Amino acid sequence: MTRTKTSPRRRQAVVWLHVVSSVAWMSQALALVVLMSLALTRPAQAAAATAMADRLDSVLLAPMANVSAFTGLVLAGATAWGYFRHWWVLTKFALTFIQLYAGIFLLSPALRESADTATATWPQIAGASLMASALSFQAWLSIAKPGKRTPWSPAAKPPTAPTWVFVAGVAAPVFDVGAGLAAGYPLPALSLVTLIVLGLERRGRRRRAQPPTARNPRSAPAASPPVV
C-alpha cells in the first residue's frame, strides 16, 4: 500500500488555528462574564455593557467557536487520533457540542434580550463562566491526554490524511468567517462541506488500512509461484 505524504507545515497550520480560535473563544467567554457582571452591579452602565456583550457574542465569540470546533474535527479525522479511539478526544467533542448548542439556543438569545432590555441576570453570568471553565478543562485534556483507548476503538489505525485536507482545514474557516462578517451572522457553510468530504476520505483511508483477509483479497499479497 502506498502512503500519501503529508506536509507537516500544513498540519501545524491547522493546529495553530485550533489553538488560537480556542483561546479566543475562552477569552471572549470571560469578557462576557465581566460585561454581564458590570451590567448587573452598575445599572447606570447596563445599557452599554449588555450591548457590548451581545455584539461580542455575535461578531467574535460565535465565529471563533465554530472555527475551534471545525479545526478540532479536522485534526481528529485527518490523523490517527480519530473521533472515538480515545476517551480524552471523545470528551472534548462532547463538551464542544454541548457548548455550541447551549451558546446558540440559550446564551445568544439571552444576551440579545439583555441588550434590548438593558438588564442582566446571574444565569447569564453562570453560563458564560461554565463555558470558559469547560474550555479551560479541554485545554488540559489536550495536554495531558488522560485515559486509555475506548472499548470500540478500531484495531486498524488509519494513516494521516493527504496535504489537501489540512489546506482545506485552514481555508474553509477563513472563508466562512469572512462570509459571516459580510452577512452579519455566523455562516459555516464551507466548513460543513469540508467535514462531509473529510468523512468520505477518512472512510477510504480506514478501508485501505485494514489488514488483508479472505474477504478482501485485493489487499492481500500475491502468492509466490511454487518452486520446482
pTM higher than 0.75: yes
Q: What is the pLDDT of residues 65-93, one digit of tens each?
A: 999 999 999 999 999 899 989 999 999 99
Q: What is the pLDDT of residues 151-190, one digit of tens each?
A: 988 777 778 999 999 999 999 999 999 999 999 888 899 9
Rounded distance between C-alpha atoms, residue 165 and residue 163, angstroms: 5
Rounded distance between C-alpha atoms, residue 128 and residue 73, angstroms: 23
Rounded distance between C-alpha atoms, residue 46 and residue 211, angstroms: 63
Mean pLDDT of the chain: 89
